[in-house]
Chain A
Amino acid sequence: MSGLRELYQEVIIDHSRQPRNFGVLLDANHHKEGFNPLCGDKLKLYVVEKNGVIEKMQFEGSGCAISVASASLMTEVMRGKTRAEVEAIFNDFHQLVTHGHNADVESRLGKLAVLAGVAEYPARVKCATLAWHTLKAAIADDPQAVSTE
Chain B
Amino acid sequence: MMIDFMTLRADFPLLQQKNRGKPLVYLDSGATNQKPQSVIDAMNQYYISDNANIHRGVYELSERATYQYEKVRHDIKEFINAAHTEEIIFTAGTTAGINLVAQSYGRSKLKVLDEIIVSAMEHHSNIVPWQLLAEQVGANLRVVPITDNGEMDLEAYEKLFTARTKIVAIAHASNALGTINPLKQMIQIAHAHNVPVLVDGAQAFPHMPVDVQDLDCDFYTFSSHKAYGPTGVGVLYGKQKLLEKMPPYQGGGDMIESVTFARTTYSKLPFKFEAGTPNISGVIGFGAAIRYLQQVGMQNIAVHEAELLAYATQQLVTIPGLKIIGTAAEKVGVISFVLDGVHPHDIGTILDDHGIAVRAGHHCAMPVMERFNVPATVRASFGLYNTHADIDALVSGLKDVLRLFK
- Give A contacts to B, CB under 8 Å: 2-4, 7-8, 13, 17, 37-42, 62-66, 121, 123-124, 127
Given A4-B350, A4-B353, does the pair A39, B345 have CB atoms closer than 8 Å? yes
Are the C-beta atoms of A8 and B346 separated by less than 8 Å? yes
How far apart are A97's CB and chain B's nearest CB, in angstroms?
14
- Contact status B345-A127, CB under 8 Å: yes
Interface pair B405/A40, CB less than 8 Å apart: no
B360 at interface (Cβ–Cβ under 8 A)?
Answer: yes
Partner of A39, one of B341, B342, B361, B405: B361
Write out the residue numbers on chain A whose beta carbons fall within 8 Å of the beta carbon of B362: 37, 39-40
Interface pair A41/B405, CB less than 8 Å apart: no
Among B343, B361, B369, contact of A65 (Cβ-Cβ < 8 Å): B343
User: Beyond A39-B345, A39-B361, A65-B343, is A13–B375 a contact (Cβ under 8 Å)?
Assistant: no
From A4, A41, A124, A127, residue with most partner B Cβ within 10 Å: A4
Residue B234 at the A interface, CB < 8 A? no
**With A39-B361, A40-B369 in contact, is A64–B345 under 8 Å at CB?**
yes
Say how far A60's CB is from chain B's closest CB, in angstroms: 14
Q: Is B32 in contact with chain A by the CB < 8 A criterion?
A: no
The reply to whether A8 and B350 form a contact with Cβ atoms under 8 Å apart is yes
Q: A39 with B353: in contact, given A8-B404, A13-B404, A13-B405 (CB under 8 Å)?
A: no
A61 CB, min distance to chain B CBs, angstroms: 10
The residue on B at minimum CB distance from A65 is B346
Mask of B363-387 contacts with A, CB within 8 angstroms, 1/0:
0000001000001100000000000
Given the complex of chains A and B, what is the CA–CA distance between A77 and B168 in angstroms?
54
Q: Which of A3, A42, A62, A66 is in CB contact (< 8 Å) with B346?
A: A66
> In the complex, what distance in Å separates the CA atom of A124 from the CA atom of B361?
13
Q: Given the known inter-chain contacts A8-B404, A13-B405, A62-B375, please indicate yes or no for A39 contacting B344, CB distance below 8 A.
A: yes
Q: Which 8 A-B pairs have the closest CB atoms?
A: A40-B375, A64-B343, A64-B345, A4-B353, A40-B376, A39-B345, A65-B346, A64-B346
Q: Complex formed: what's the CA distance from A121 to B349 in Å?
A: 8
B360 CB contacts on chain A under 8 angstroms: 39
Tell me the minimal C-beta distance from A145 to chain B in angstroms. Answer: 16
Flag if B375 contacts A124 (CB, 8 Å): no
State the B residues within 8 Å of A (CB).
341-346, 349-350, 353, 360-362, 369, 375-376, 404-405
Give bound CA distance, A4 to B345, whole Å: 13
In the complex, chain B residues whose CB is within 8 Å of the CB of A124: 345, 349
Q: Is the CB of B349 within 8 A of A7?
A: yes
Q: Which residues on the B side are within 8 Å of A64 (C-beta)?
A: 343-346
Interface pairs (7), CB distance under 8 Å: A3-B353, A7-B349, A8-B350, A13-B404, A37-B362, A63-B343, A121-B349
- Chain A residue nearest in CB terms to B375: A40
Q: Report A-chain residues with C-beta under 8 Å of the C-beta of B346.
A: 8, 64-66
Question: In the complex, A13 Cα to B345 Cα: how many Å?
Answer: 14
B125 to chain A, nearest CB (A): 16
Supplied contacts A4-B350, A4-B353, A17-B341, 7 more A-B pairs, CB within 8 Å: A3-B353, A4-B404, A8-B346, A38-B361, A39-B376, A40-B361, A41-B375
What's the least CB distance linking B404 to chain A, in Å? 5
In the bound assembly, the distance between CA atoms of A70 and B224 in angstroms comes to 40
* Contact B353 A42, beta carbon cutoff 8 Å: no
Q: CA separation between A97 and B272, bound complex, in Å?
A: 51
Residue of A nearest to B400 (CB): A4
Which residues from A are CB-within-8-Å of B361? 38-40
| Cα-based distance from A121 to B362 in the complex (angstroms) | 20
> A39 to chain B: which residues have CB within 8 Å?
343-345, 360-362, 375-376
